[in-house]
Chains A and B, each alone.
Chain A
Amino acid sequence: MRSLQTRFGEVTYNTKKVVHFPEGLLGFERLRDFIVIPNKNDDVLFCFQSVEENHVAFLLINPALFFPDYRVPVSTVVKDKLGIGTNDPYFVLTTITFHQDETVTLNLLAPVIYTPKTDRAVQIVLEGSGYSTKTPLKTGEASP
């Protein structure tokens, strides 16, 4: 066990239960290990806290809830990086960005593929897909 001072206060975690990004995220290539902070909607929303940089944490969401038609091709090269075979399960997640004007956007251009099998994750780039790094969540739709 080890503890970490974060924006959520002090967090104690099991050093064996970390999610490993073998390549880091783009621009954060040196940060390889993250812990998942428990969260209310833990079936769709995940908070990944870096264990190497206290001030770095990403909120990752399953975009299917808002974008049911979003499809991500996961190549065998990516599966090799994740250490999984053809039929092993993986999840497609995207980072969330909060903006000054209260809008919330998802990065559909560069999703994160995570597999519980090896607890590894890789950020991939869907170049040429037409997806944007700042796809707005239509929060209005969720109001009754």
Chain B
Amino acid sequence: MLVLTRKIGESIIIGENIKITILDHKEGRIRIGIQAPPEMKVLRLEVYERICQENKEASQWDSKKLDALNSLLSKKKDQK
């Protein structure tokens, strides 16, 4: 991992169009400003990992579960 030391107000640039600025630090928390192209996903790592894990779990299921869900949905629609 590349390690750089920065002061508050200083920035780093990644590639041509991602700029990260150190804004503030207080009580062990660091505020970071990120400028990146809008189509680029910027996420907290733990959120990204949680969704990856969820997608992995959601990709594995068997057809029996689908049958049960279908009958639940039919009931639910009848209620409406």
Contacts and interface: CB of A to CB of B under 8 A. Distances in A.
Interface of A: 7-8, 23, 25-28, 39-41, 44-45, 47, 55-59, 65-66, 75, 77, 80-81, 95-98, 104, 107, 109-110, 123, 125, 127, 133-134, 137, 139, 142-144
Interface of B: 38-39, 41, 43-44, 47-48, 50-63, 65-66, 69-70, 72-77, 79
A107 B59 contact: no
A127 B44 contact: yes
30 contacts: A8-B63, A26-B51, A40-B70, A41-B70, A41-B77, A47-B66, A55-B60, A59-B61, A59-B69, A65-B77, A96-B69, A97-B58, A97-B61, A98-B61, A98-B65, A107-B54, A107-B58, A109-B50, A109-B51, A109-B54, A110-B54, A123-B51, A125-B43, A125-B48, A125-B51, A127-B43, A127-B44, A137-B72, A142-B79, A144-B75
